[in-house]
Amino acid sequence: MGNRGESKLHLHILGSGSKGNCALVEGPCGLVMIDDGFSRREVCKRMHELGLDEQDVRALLLTHEHSDHVSGISVWCRAFDVELFASIGTPETRAYLAELPFCEFIPGKAFTVAGIEVRTFATSHDVVNPTGFRFSYAGDAIGYATDTGCLSDDALDALADVRILALESNHDVAMLRTGSYPRYLQDRIMSERGHLSNEQAADAALKLVTDRTEQLVAMHISQENNRPSLAVRSFAQALGAELDDELGSTATLTRAGSTPNLRIRAAGQNRPLSIR
């Protein structure tokens, strides 16, 4: 159960995108789930593909209440007894969430769950109290932020200098503006309460990535208005990394001496991914 005997946290992304979101942070005492926008069967299937056991989930944290992040929670909670955490006001936005025993917090609060310290911070999205997370254990850290139109100073502080950074890189502006979405939806996505573009994410990465950062993951990539390769290329260009292949599916920033290299990749909607 969990990565006992190890001092590092692991991040498992079951899916990231508009059709469903779910990730797991693996620590010393089990798994902490972030959001659940899939069916229980699909979550278990994807966990098993990564060699994970659903019985090891100890807690479930919500980023916000949009259905692609919460639609599977009620069914999951009927099968498994887990601690539930959400920002204040979030459970009340949906009747099926309000029936569950959430521990509500104000973004900015820190707490410990399953042996992992969780620092919360406010993000910016068109919901009640959207939240991002910094997970810390034994000197290791993971930063996680999706579904936000901008990053505050507090968010940047929480996400900086982590070993694994999972950061939204939702859309390519040119693709969005010339695509099929109506103008009002384009404007909503590009607003400060929408989603980070590739360029915005790359600009943020310049402030957040340090020599300690070994993994950078582009999250919540739009299937209509972006491509994984575009997100990876944007990060790579900003950070001076080299693409690993002509497709641009991954990139690497080679560092001198004993400093670990930085690996850049994209999370997908349909294929689970483990980052250790």
| Residues 181-206: tens digit of each pLDDT | 999 999 999 999 999 999 999 999 99
If residue 216 lies in a helix (H) or strand (E), which one and from where to where? strand 215-219
On average, the pLDDT of the chain sits at 97
Q: For residue 260, what are the contacts with CB-CB under 8 A and spacing of at least 6? A: 214
Sheet strands side by side (includes 57-61): 102-105, 83-87, 57-61, 30-34, 22-27, 10-15, 273-275
Q: Is the pLDDT of residue 255 over 60?
A: yes
Residue 79 has a pLDDT of 96
Residue 252 has a pLDDT of 98
Mean pLDDT along residues 239-266: 96
Residue 4 has a pLDDT of 61
Residue 5 has a pLDDT of 60
Residue 96 has a pLDDT of 97
Residue 6 has a pLDDT of 75
Tell me what percent of the residues of the chain surpass a pLDDT of 70. Answer: 99
Contact 98, 84 (CB under 8 A): no
| Residues 58-99: tens digit of each pLDDT | 999 999 999 999 999 999 999 999 999 999 999 999 999 999
Mean pLDDT along residues 156-168: 98
Mean pLDDT along residues 201-226: 98
- 3 state SS of 29: coil
* Percent of the chain that is helix, strand, coil (3-state, to 5): 25, 30, 45
Q: Distance between CA 143 and CA 37 in Å, rounded? A: 20
Mean pLDDT along residues 26-35: 98
Residue 1 has a pLDDT of 56
- This prediction has a pTM of 0.97
pLDDT band at 19 (very low <50, low <70, confident <90, very high): very high
Q: Is the pLDDT of residue 124 over 80?
A: yes
